[in-house]
Chain A
Amino acid sequence: MSILVNKNTRVICQGITGSGGGAFHTRGCLDYGTKMVGGTSPGKGGTKDANGLPVFDTVDQAVRATGADATMIFVPPLFAADAICEAAAAGIKLIVAITEGIPVLDMVKAKKFLADFGTSVKLVGPNCPGVITPGECKIGIMPGYIHTPAQKGKKSVGIVSRSGTLTYEAVWQTTELGWSQSTCVGIGGDPVKGMDFIDVLELFQADPLTDAIVMIGEIGGAAEEAAAAYIKKAVTKPVVGFIAGRTAPPGKRMGHAGAIISGGEGTAESKIAAMRQAGIRVADSPADIGKCLHETTGG
């Protein structure tokens, strides 16, 4: 098993013909084996995208024609929150928003819109690399080949992270050490987003395939502190972590919209302390994430 996506997940790409890289990354997902079944681009319904997939004007049409249950959003920032709401309204169950640069108040409204659908609709992102269950389904921009599908004789780690490239680091290191990955979820670098650490941790804890969990956070907000408290209370699987931004100066936005220390809150020290207090082993160096996992779980 795995979480969120598997080999039966049917995926469309919203913004498939646009300049945001929709068709290019749809190709990458197709090559990985994902069941990409179509895309949307308002005004281009009835045409085909560069990969030969059918293009629809609306998500509703796409869902009816293809039976899609997941979407990958590359719609430009101005229209991306609308695209998220459209997907939920059309019955899509997993919305993965790759788009970077969505105005935060648009996300505040979109998140409230999604709340009406309860837990049946899940949003990952925005400003994230996506979700992958190795060997089964890749929705997003991550390099597929660094991942290892779950298999007999290999332990499986679930990875949840606010950063794309740091996720790849953790995947690479665990692959090198002989691990597989159950599912990797990039929850994104924005201050207001869909699934947060706790939502993903809950799924990993319940997933029989996931043997251990890697959690990668960064400065800004208090989601890591909340996750640490949750882990102490509800997660029995081994968790190792890493927090980026110990050297980041306060008041400066470090690339991600959500990566900022403000008013003395959101420091790496506070997050690391909370995680260690909850019994989570936190790597001092990003190069040691895999090693820490290996040592914590006895190899």
Chain B
Amino acid sequence: MKIHEYQARDLLAKAGIPVPAARVVETAQEAEKAFEENGFPLQVVKAQVFAGGRGKAGFVKLVKSAAEARAAAEFMLTHRMVSVQTGPEGIAVNKILIAGAVDIAHEYYLGFVLDRDRSTVSMIASAEGGVEIETVAHERPAAIIKEPLHPLAGMQGFQARRTALALGFTGKQANTVADILLKLSRFFIDYDCSIAEINPLVLTKDGKILAIDAKVNFDDNALFRHPDVLALKDDAETDALEIRAAAANLNYIKLDGDIACLVNGAGLAMATMDVIQLHGGKPANFLDVGGGVKAEGAIEAFRIILSDKKVRGILVNIFGGIARCDLIAEALIQAGREVGFQVPVVVRLEGTNVEAARKILAASQGDLPTLQVAGDLNDAAKKIVSATR
């Protein structure tokens, strides 16, 4: 789960990490007031959205007066933000962060991530902050400092201190940075994060150390023990169909192709998307209905994929293991009767009770004229691609 920049700042501030004064507003009038209350000569107005590319889109602005803050907020709240990440329709901005801008002497990166190779959490730090850390890691690996955490003991003081020194800090500033690292590592563990990063951490010209921007993601599997985090969830930028699918316990991700797929199992669902593309089509979604799918779930799944107006055909790919193919065939027919298949549907079933399933499908061909049964997955992909051409 992702949270917004202002929410991450709040959480880090509560964890004792220094951040510049800031306020979150929802109107231009509030923006004007926030500028005055923050009390900085130069401040930054930032739209609070998940999509990247804010700066280029004009949704991050430096302002020098309350009037300018008001004008910037007015613009952001009344225009949809369009960037490479939003698509041409753009997204609406509802919240704006207004924060004091500081005189930056140097920008650093501090972060913690799950380290899959080591099965633990690792710290990543760099004296080259303020840019994408992946780019730094790729282009100048020597500029990256890495410290794996002990899985049980967590980050130790000596690791934090040597990192601060390696970043080039000395004296009291090194102690301050080490303290921030320890606090951020504890925050990561306490909140079951998957990413917690400060980028940039800045050293100001007057010698202060401040976290200017933060990104925090949480492990979805651990949200049940963090109701306070769950309360921060904002679905405003989540696709409406994805929200609906989640409510029905379906694992659905909308993509931009026109051939929908309905599959059991995450690996097979991905592979089904791949095989559609391999045969010249473009998948409209990822959809894993799970192993024990019943008629009700299958019908809702069909409703969801058919709500995507781009969809011109559906590929159903089920490997009946615990789930029986005949039950799935019946669910499919029930779904077809209820939802109505206006587009071609190609079904590939294999596994438990597949013979019974094929008979059921053959018997209902009259009811569902757009339905075709395929032999194997290659055949199914070829059939649906040619049917949607």
Chain A CB within 10 A, most for which of B114, B221, B266: B266
Whether A240 sits at the interface, judged by CB under 8 Å, is no
In the complex the two chains form, what is the Cα distance from A103 to B377 in whole Å? 34
Whether B109 sits at the interface, judged by CB under 8 Å, is no
Whether B123 sits at the interface, judged by CB under 8 Å, is no
Chain A CB within 10 A, most for which of B133, B151, B225: B151
Are B270 and A141 in contact, with the CB atoms below 8 A?
A: no
Interface size class of B (residues with CB under 8 A): 35 or more
In the complex the two chains form, what is the Cα distance from A58 to B272 in whole Å? 42
Q: How many A-B residue pairs have CB under 8 A?
A: 175
Contact partners of A168 in chain B: CB under 8 A: 319, 321, 351
Contact partners of B273 in chain A: CB under 8 A: 247-248
Whether B88 sits at the interface, judged by CB under 8 Å, is no
Interface size class of A (residues with CB under 8 A): 35 or more
Are A105 and B378 in contact, with the CB atoms below 8 A?
A: no
Considering only CB atoms, which chain A residue lies closest to B223 in the complex? A103
Are A257 and B253 in contact, with the CB atoms below 8 A?
A: no
Whether B5 sits at the interface, judged by CB under 8 Å, is no
Contact partners of B377 in chain A: CB under 8 A: 169, 285-287
Distance from A103 Cβ to chain B, minimum over Cβ atoms (Å): 4
Considering only CB atoms, which chain B residue lies closest to A104 in the complex? B219
Whether A161 sits at the interface, judged by CB under 8 Å, is yes
CB 8 Å contact bits of B157-196 with A (1 = contact, 0 = none): 0000000000000000000000000000000010010100
Contact partners of B225 in chain A: CB under 8 A: 78, 103
Contact partners of A192 in chain B: CB under 8 A: 114, 116, 119
Are A161 and B352 in contact, with the CB atoms below 8 A?
A: no
Contact partners of A241 in chain B: CB under 8 A: none
Are B322 and A255 in contact, with the CB atoms below 8 A?
A: no
In the complex the two chains form, what is the Cα distance from A172 to B376 in whole Å? 11
Whether B43 sits at the interface, judged by CB under 8 Å, is no
CB 8 Å contact bits of A228-252 with B (1 = contact, 0 = none): 0000000000000010111111001
Binding site for A on B (CB under 8 A): 114, 116-117, 119-121, 133-134, 137-138, 151-152, 189, 192, 194, 219-222, 224-225, 251, 253, 255, 263-278, 283, 286, 288, 291, 319-322, 350-352, 376-378, 381
Listed by A's residue number, 11 A-B pairs whose Cβ atoms lie within 8 Å are: A105-B222, A108-B121, A143-B321, A145-B352, A165-B291, A219-B270, A248-B286, A256-B267, A263-B133, A286-B275, A288-B378
A253-B220, A255-B288 given; name 5 further pairs at CB < 8 Å. A77-B221, A165-B268, A246-B274, A247-B283, A288-B378
